[in-house]
């Protein structure tokens, strides 16, 4: 038998089955289409409700109890007074923002004991889906493969805005039209956005983030990852900006909370906002990620995280300042490593190649298909060769200079408005607004800024930048610094920080307070500012245009390849990639085997929290009060066979954005809050493995126990509707 050299050890038929057929439990389904594609299967798996119970525009349905929480998490309503449940890590930034050394809610937790104590969160939104509609025909009418890209974009934009205008006319709703199946289908979403969302409660991080980044993306898990908010509305129950006169929102629907627990095989449904997946990409894409992009990103983040971690370990104040930044850097850093391992173990590149071979055979068997799709894979191949390079540059500039990079360089970038005005030769009064805005930005920045951390990070990333990025992509100011300092990166960083005044809160403050157009001279001589401007200029001149051009070409191929895959896989039920729209995933409660001879049970208990307890390890310090409650073993109605459940596993297909999603049982009752996935299955964004891909949920009984016994906030339990 012919065996391809590259570790093709899986049998061909198995590959074909796995590569082509949709696997049980895989899929993020469209709520509007459940009736057509899923409900029968769901009911076959034990679901006792109807598609209308999940999504309906004629009556209250589950979708009326689910929100997009902020811009990237999910939340669910659990009382008729607007009480909202989400993850601790979703409320994290807000909890941090309310925290000071005196009132350190991150460390000690926060519980409002009355409505007056709830804390407002400017800018935080909770978005309900009012309705969705397939608008594909109207969007794509008259457009075909010969329509040039720009023309297509323009037509789509015009049509979308007309559709949106019609949809929201005379209402307070907002709307958006989103592409599905890489632009082969379009849906309209009409939303209702609430803007007064207050913090009600959060456990201490030692519970809500128990296990921290050590346990993140792993099982067995013991994290009490929840926080509570409340949506407020005006007197007519309508969305309104924050006002002390607002009242708790009365939702159309909220979830009853089940105390019945879970057993292996039980039906589970996750209803939320998965952010993005890439299920239909060619093997070239996976190669780019695992061979080129991820290894570099992992390396640079490892260095930054090591520096932050050491400083956070040394100082409680720095721990608060860098908590959210650290969590966000670390979360993807660890996921990339898990994805790489999972993709490799599952031989995803080989599987994709086998699929591509079959696909090519199918294409070549027909003349028309050959004309339409015959060059697709070859085009991908040549495009990814060069796209890989620009994609890495694009991400790397962000890791070094911008979004995830050196803080001072990113911060300095904000001051550009002053130079812009200056060049525009404006009057002093024109500066008032930008200066005021900068004062705000600076206030927020310095709250969470510790210059020694940033100084060390700059030295570290400077070194990596030079080993990873070719010289032709060094910004001009970089080259000058290189000439001066050579490879002495610490000196380089020290020089930058000593000469710059942008890392000094009081100097920035007085600069802004005494600002006059002449001050711009002082700004443009600052080395951090100069590097920031130069890096930005270079990035927008040399990297972004090429990156965008290639990305656009790939996205055009993606659209065509998706169309072809739909034809090729005719008769199969396909689900569109996640795109931060409301989706249903269903599956069942189930443990798994991470590796030979190791079997993971489907749930964890409070006993496991105590097992992990270790006062010497920050991530594993169990609060005294929780230990006392454990010793008393007084778990009341929240226990099962004398144990207090903490987390459980199921086979639901989820991704980033699904955090905080309600996990619902066969009767439509809340049994858990989704918050993570397991290490061996985390590549499910790219390929789902039914044997290893599991979502991790917090058992709702642990949440209730903590609210009731730990926090003594039983009044919140009284608001809920418990099902015993």
Nearer to ligand ARG, 176 or 327 (CB): 327
Q: What angle do CA 126, 179, 582 make, to 5 degrees?
A: 35
89 annotated active-site: yes
Site for ligand ASP contains 208 (CB under 6 A): no
Kindly report the backbone phi and psi dihedral angles of residue 120, in degrees, each rounded to the nearest multiple of 5, phi listed first: -70, 155
| Of residues 331 and 379, the one with the C-beta less far from ligand ARG | 331
Given 89, 222, 285, 653, the catalytic residue: 89
- Taking CB positions, which residue lies at the least distance from ligand ASP? 659
DSSP 589: B
Helical spans, DSSP H, in 274-347:
283-287, 294-314, 316-345
Q: Which stretch binds ligand ASP (CB under 6 A): 156-164, 191-199, 347-355, 652-660?
A: 652-660
In the block, which residue shows the tokens 């900006």?
241
Q: Distance (Å, rounded) from C-alpha 88 to C-alpha 83?
A: 15
Min CB(191)–ligand ASP separation in Å: 19
Q: Which does 654 bind (CB under 5 to 8 A by kind): ligand ASP, ligand ARG, none?
A: ligand ASP
| Region from 15-23, 128-136, 141-149, 655-663 binding ligand ASP, contact rule CB under 6 A | 655-663
Give the list of residues 6+ apart from residue 274 with CB closer than 8 angstroms, or none: 28, 578, 580, 583, 585, 654, 655, 656, 657, 658
Maximal C-alpha separation, the chain: 80
Q: State the binding partner of 330 from ligand ARG, ligand ASP, none, CB within 5 to 8 A by kind.
A: ligand ARG
d(CA 200, CA 226): 11
Residues 6+ apart with CB under 8 A from 65: 76, 77, 251, 252, 253, 254, 255, 662
Q: Are 219 and 600 in contact (CB under 8 A)?
A: yes
| Residue 340 or 453 with smaller CB distance to ligand ASP | 340
Candidates 61, 654, 665, 689; binder of ligand ASP (CB under 6 A) is 654
Which helix (H) or strand (E) covers residue 710, if one does?
none
Minimum gap (Å) between residue 453 Cβ and ligand ARG: 18
| Residue 659 binds to ligand ASP (criterion: CB under 6 A) | yes
Which H/E stretch holds residue 596?
none
DSSP SS3 for 106: helix
Q: Across-strand partners of 647?
A: 698
**Binder of residue 511, out of ligand ASP, ligand ARG, none (CB less than 5 to 8 A by kind):** none
Task: Check residue 246 for interaction with ligand ASP (CB under 6 A).
Answer: no
Question: At closest approach, how far in Å is the CB of 338 from ligand ASP?
Answer: 10
Q: Which residues bind ligand ARG (CB under 6 A)?
A: 89, 212-213, 216-217, 327, 330-331, 656, 659, 675-676
Which of ligand ARG, ligand ASP, none does residue 657 bind to, with CB < 5 to 8 Å depending on kind? ligand ASP
658 contributes a contact to ligand ASP by CB under 6 A: yes
The CB-of-656 to ligand ASP minimum distance in angstroms stands at 4
Q: Decide: is 657 part of the binding site for ligand ASP (CB under 6 A).
A: yes
Give the one entry of ligand ARG, ligand ASP, none that residue 216 binds, where binding means its C-beta sits below a cut-off of 5 to 8 angstroms depending on kind.
Answer: ligand ARG
- Measured from the CB atom, the residue of 251 and 656 that comes closer to ligand ARG is 656
Residues in region 676-705 near ligand ASP by CB under 6 A? 676-677
Say which entry of ligand ARG, ligand ASP, none residue 360 contacts (CB below 5 to 8 A, set by partner kind).
none
Q: Report the residue count for the chain.
A: 724
Per CB under 6 A, the list member of 656, 662, 681, 690 interacting with ligand ASP is 656
Helix (H, G, I), strand (E, B) or coil at 711: coil
Phi first, then psi: what are they for 596, rounded to 5°? -50, 130
Whether 659 is catalytic is yes
Q: Give the dihedral of Cα atoms 181, 578, 324, 496; nearest 10 deg.
A: -20
Cβ closest to ligand ASP, residue 185 vs residue 693: 693
Work out what residue 212 binds among ligand ASP, ligand ARG, none; the CB cut-off runs from 5 to 8 Å by kind.
Answer: ligand ARG
Nearer to ligand ARG, 163 or 199 (CB): 199
Catalytic residue among 25, 64, 196, 225: 225
Give the closest residue to 113 by CA, choosing from 228, 249, 251, 243.
Answer: 228
- Residue 68's H or E segment, with its range, is strand 66-69
Q: Binds 602, which of ligand ARG, ligand ASP, none (CB < 5 to 8 A, cut-off by type)?
A: none
Q: How far apart are CA 75 and CA 83, in angstroms?
A: 10
Q: Which is nearer to ligand ASP, 406 or 655 (CB)?
A: 655
Is position 110 an interface residue for ligand ASP (rule: CB under 6 A)? no
- SS3 of residue 199 by DSSP: strand
User: Of 428-436, 478-486, 641-649, 669-677, which segment contacts ligand ASP by CB under 6 A?
Assistant: 669-677
Cβ–Cβ under 8 Å, residues 244 and 257: no
Among candidate residues 597, 600, 626, the one with its CA nearest the CA of residue 612:
626
Of the candidate spans 110-118, 358-366, 481-489, 674-682, the one that interacts with ligand ASP by CB under 6 A turns out to be 674-682
Check if 225 is active-site: yes
Of 407, 327, 323, 326, nearest to 104 by C-alpha is 323
SS3 548: helix
Residue 602 interacts with ligand ASP (CB under 6 A): yes or no: no
- For the CB of residue 344, give the shortest distance to ligand ARG in the complex, in Å: 20
Residue 22 φ/ψ, nearest 5 degrees? -80, 135
The answer to whether the bond into 220 is cis (omega within 30° of 0) is yes
456 binds, among ligand ASP, ligand ARG, none (CB under 5 to 8 A by kind): none
* Catalytic member of 56, 61, 659, 697: 659
Question: What is the smallest separation between the CB atom of 490 and ligand ASP, expressed in angstroms?
Answer: 36
Query: What is the number of H-type helices and E-type strands within the chain?
Result: 30, 22
> To the nearest whole angstrom, how small is the minimum distance from the Cβ of residue 117 to ligand ASP?
27
Instruction: Answer whether 608's CB lies under 8 Å from 571's CB.
Output: no
Contact pick of 675, 688, 702, 710 for ligand ASP (by CB under 6 A): 675
Query: Which of the choices ligand ARG, ligand ASP, none does residue 655 contact, using the CB cut-off of 5 to 8 A by kind?
Result: ligand ASP
| Cα–Cα separations (whole angstroms), residue 612 to 206, 209, 606, 695 | 12, 13, 10, 21
Q: Binding residues for ligand ASP, per CB under 6 A?
A: 654-659, 675-677
Q: Which residues are catalytic?
A: 89, 225, 659
């Amino acid at each position: 038998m012919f065996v391809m050299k590259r570790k093709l050890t899986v049998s061909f038929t198995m590959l074909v089955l796995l590569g082509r057929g949709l696997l049980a439990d895989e899929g993020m389904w469209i709520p509007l289409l459940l009736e057509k594609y899923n409900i029968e299967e769901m009911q076959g798996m034990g679901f006792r409700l109807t598609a209308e119970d999940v999504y309906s525009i004629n009556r209250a349905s589950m979708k009326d109890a689910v929100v997009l929480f902020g811009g990237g998490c999910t939340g669910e309503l659990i009382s008729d007074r607007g009480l909202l449940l989400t993850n601790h890590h979703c409320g994290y930034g807000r909890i941090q923002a309310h925290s000071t050394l005196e009132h350190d809610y991150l460390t000690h937790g926060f519980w409002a004991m009355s409505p007056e104590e709830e804390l407002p969160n400017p800018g935080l939104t909770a978005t309900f889906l009012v309705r969705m509609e397939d608008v594909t025909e109207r969007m794509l009418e008259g457009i075909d493969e010969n329509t040039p890209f720009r023309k297509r974009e323009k037509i789509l934009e015009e049509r979308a805005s007309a559709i949106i205008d019609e949809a929201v006319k005379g209402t307070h709703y907002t709307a958006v039209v989103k592409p599905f199946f890489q632009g082969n289908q379009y849906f309209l979403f009409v939303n209702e956005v609430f803007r007064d969302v207050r913090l009600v409660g959060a456990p201490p991080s030692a519970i809500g983030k128990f296990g921290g980044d050590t346990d993140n993306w792993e099982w067995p898990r013991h994290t009490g990852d929840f926080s509570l908010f409340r949506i407020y509305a005006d007197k007519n129950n309508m969305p309104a900006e924050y006002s002390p006169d607002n009242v708790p929102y009365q939702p159309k629907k909220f979830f009853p909370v089940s105390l019945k627990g879970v057993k292996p095989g039980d039906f589970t449904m996750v209803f939320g906002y998965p952010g993005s997946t890439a299920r239909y990409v060619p093997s070239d894409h996976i190669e780019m990620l695992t061979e080129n992009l991820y290894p570099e990103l992992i390396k640079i983040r490892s260095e930054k995280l090591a520096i932050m971690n050491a400083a956070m370990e040394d100082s409680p104040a720095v721990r608060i300042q860098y908590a959210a930044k650290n969590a966000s850097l670390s979360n993807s850093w660890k996921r990339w490593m898990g994805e790489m391992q999972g993709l490799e173990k599952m031989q995803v590149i080989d599987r994709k190649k086998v699929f591509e071979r079959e696909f090519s055979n199918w294409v070549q068997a027909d003349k028309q298909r050959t004309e339409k799709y015959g060059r697709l894979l070859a085009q991908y191949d040549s495009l990814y060769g060069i796209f890989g390079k620009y994609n890495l540059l694009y991400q790397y500039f962000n890791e070094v200079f911008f979004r995830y990079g050196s803080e001072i360089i990113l911060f300095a970038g904000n001051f550009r408005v002053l130079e812009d005005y200056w060049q525009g030769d404006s009057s002093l009064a024109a500066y008032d607004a930008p200066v005021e805005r900068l004062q705000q930005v600076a206030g927020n920045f310095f709250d969470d800024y510790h210059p020694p951390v940033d100084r060390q990070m700059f030295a570290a990333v400077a070194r990596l930048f030079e080993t990873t990025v070719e010289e032709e992509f060094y910004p001009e100011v970089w080259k000058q610094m290189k000439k001066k300092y050579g490879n002495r990166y610490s000196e380089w960083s020290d020089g930058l920080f000593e000469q710059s005044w942008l890392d000094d809160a009081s100097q920035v403050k007085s600069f802004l307070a005494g600002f006059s157009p002449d001050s711009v001279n002082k700004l443009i001589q600052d080395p951090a500012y100069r590097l920031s401007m130069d890096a930005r200029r270079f990035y927008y001149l040399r990297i972004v245009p090429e990156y965008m051009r290639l990305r656009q070409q790939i996205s055009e191929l993606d659209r065509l390849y998706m169309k072809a895959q739909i034809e090729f896989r005719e008769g199969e039920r396909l689900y569109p990639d996640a795109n931060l729209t409301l989706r249903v995933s269903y599956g069942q409660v189930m443990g798994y085997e991470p590796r030979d001879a190791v079997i993971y049970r489907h749930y964890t208990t409070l006993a496991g929290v105590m097992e992990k307890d270790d006062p010497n390890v920050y991530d594993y310090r169990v609060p005294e009060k929780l230990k006392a409650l454990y010793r008393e073993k007084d778990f009341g109605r929240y226990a099962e066979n004398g144990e207090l459940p903490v987390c459980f596993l199921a086979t639901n297909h989820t991704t980033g954005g699904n955090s905080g999603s309600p996990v619902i049982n066969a009767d439509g009752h809340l049994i858990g809050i989704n918050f993570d996935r397991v290490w061996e299955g985390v590549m499910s964004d790219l390929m789902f493995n039914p044997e290893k891909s599991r979502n991790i949920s917090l058992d709702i009984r642990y949440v209730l126990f903590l609210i009731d016994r730990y926090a003594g906030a039983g009044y919140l339990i009284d608001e809920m509707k418990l099902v015993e």
